[in-house]
A and B are shown apart, each in its own frame.
Chain A
Amino acid sequence: MAQGIINRVVPASPFALGVARFFVHGTFLLTTLITSFSALGSLPPTILRPTGAMKFLPWSFYDLLQTHSGMLTLKTVMLVSLLLSTAGFLTVMSTKTSLLLVLFYQGLLRSFGHFNHDEMIAVYFLVVLAFTPCGDAFSIDRRLGRIKKQRPAFAYAYPILLMQLLLAWVYFSSALIKLRVAGWKYLTPDNLPALAIFHSLDNLHDTAFRAAFWLPQVRQYLPIFVALVLVWELLFPLAVFFRRMRWWILGIGVIFHLSTLFLMNIFFPHQLLMYLIFVDWDRRKK
């Protein structure tokens, strides 16, 4: 019965899960392709602060990695693995190697800077895809006739539901943490302008928009805006179960992330791209 409900709520075809594999792995493939790893390799390992699981690796490893040839090797291996997993070739293995490599690379970036959350949801999607039959369709494996096994619709529907729930958790838990940590203080008129201006002062952020300096002029209205954002975050899980509300909730999400870009010079492109998990690819195919 539960399987039947899940199969009705989310797309339940190997094609839909294959498309999810394509855009999640493809996102990391594209960013790896356009990123200069040699510049990253020029940074001194002495400013690294290995975070979480990255602490298990010895300094001699980081010394080897933080070189031109070390970074070239990492980039090449990542590109090969991500190309295979995006195309769905040797999917059972390539989705797992891509997961490990991306996990390592993202940990390295966080060991230089801070625990930025943008790519994390996509990393969790990689975990889901690595342990589900995401190469059964929309893949080279399928074209080559390597997929023989017939699986129930639930095998494809549940991973998609799980990824949607993970994305919903991101926003829902974010709102709860704000309320737990800051409480009603989060709704003071100076919260948003002070934060936004601070993020607009330096030239070390990725963009240099100055819209934040306009916020003090409308500070009395900002608590309403912030409260609406909190309500939207709390309601985000409804996007999983109610199709009609879904596009409103996701639409507000797009506006929200664009506004953080212009007001705070903070952008979450990976997280935004993961909204594609809510598209009913079976319907699009028809």
Chain B
Amino acid sequence: MSIISKLTNSWAQADGDEKRLVVKYAILTAFLFLPLFWAFLGVRNLYPIAAWNVMMAGGDLERGRSYCMLRGETISGETIDVAAIELTGALFSRNWTMVNAAIDNQSFKLKSLHPQNEELLRQFGGIENLPPGARIPDLLQAWGDIYNKREPESSPKRLKAIRLDMYRWESGRYSDYDKFIETWRKEL
């Protein structure tokens, strides 16, 4: 007997409850997999629909890349590295892209802008006049406050300023990883 006729027979023998269960599970499967196929075909992530395009393009040695270091200036005069994960651990694996997006002013490129961003854009007279990282000082202020809240008032490790140093790996070769580009600094 062919598989199809076996399936047809077992469907005919199933009672109402079983049939309902099969239909329900078929709908659940389609509900999950159809959007995933759509995302896969278009290589497009539209939350919560995911296309697993992690590292799909691979690395390119010829392409230069910028990156940032988060640093704090303590009241004792020291400059220390500050790990973003220890400040906003909830973002797990997303701190670096949050910074990149903020430097690129991506929150000013949305269809619907936050009212405060709309106001700032008006003040600057358009996105083309906005400096890179227009909201980075706000982010640095938040990170600085989180850091200092965890330190006792008398601690010499408290920060008087926090900054984001941007570097560039010009690339083309495996050396010269840290050409300085610019700094955003926030007094706390």
A228 to chain B: closest CB distance in Å?
15
- Contact of B47 with A206 in the complex, beta carbons under 8 Å: no
**Chain A 103-141: CB-based contact to B (< 8 A → 1; otherwise 0):** 100110110111111101001100110011000000000
- Contact of B117 with A178 in the complex, beta carbons under 8 Å: no
State whether the Cβ of B106 lies closer than 8 Å to any Cβ in chain A: yes
> Please, which residue of chain A has its CB at the minimum distance from the CB of B109?
A49
- Contact of A115 with B58 in the complex, beta carbons under 8 Å: no
- Contact of B10 with A107 in the complex, beta carbons under 8 Å: no
- Contact of B142 with A43 in the complex, beta carbons under 8 Å: yes
- Residues of chain A within 8 A of B3, CB atoms compared: 1
- Residues of chain A within 8 A of B54, CB atoms compared: 117, 174
- Residues of chain B within 8 A of A46, CB atoms compared: 107, 114, 116-117, 135, 138
State whether the Cβ of A185 lies closer than 8 Å to any Cβ in chain B: yes
Q: Tally B residues with Cβ within 8 Å of A.
A: 81
State whether the Cβ of B129 lies closer than 8 Å to any Cβ in chain A: no
State whether the Cβ of B184 lies closer than 8 Å to any Cβ in chain A: no
Report the bound CA distance from A186 to B117 in whole Å: 40
Report the bound CA distance from A208 to B69 in whole Å: 12
- Residues of chain B within 8 A of A195, CB atoms compared: 55, 58-59
Report the bound CA distance from A195 to B60 in whole Å: 7
- Contact of A204 with B32 in the complex, beta carbons under 8 Å: no
Report the bound CA distance from A35 to B98 in whole Å: 18
Q: Which of A44, A55, A181 contacts B56 (CB 8 A)?
A: A181
- Contact of B28 with A131 in the complex, beta carbons under 8 Å: yes
B149 to chain A: closest CB distance in Å?
9
**Chain B 49-65: CB-based contact to A (< 8 A → 1; otherwise 0):** 11111111111110101
State whether the Cβ of B87 lies closer than 8 Å to any Cβ in chain A: yes
Report the bound CA distance from A186 to B56 in whole Å: 8
- Contact of A112 with B98 in the complex, beta carbons under 8 Å: yes
- Contact of B59 with A154 in the complex, beta carbons under 8 Å: no
A-B contact pairs, 6 of them (CB 8 A): A44-B138, A47-B135, A59-B115, A106-B48, A170-B52, A173-B51
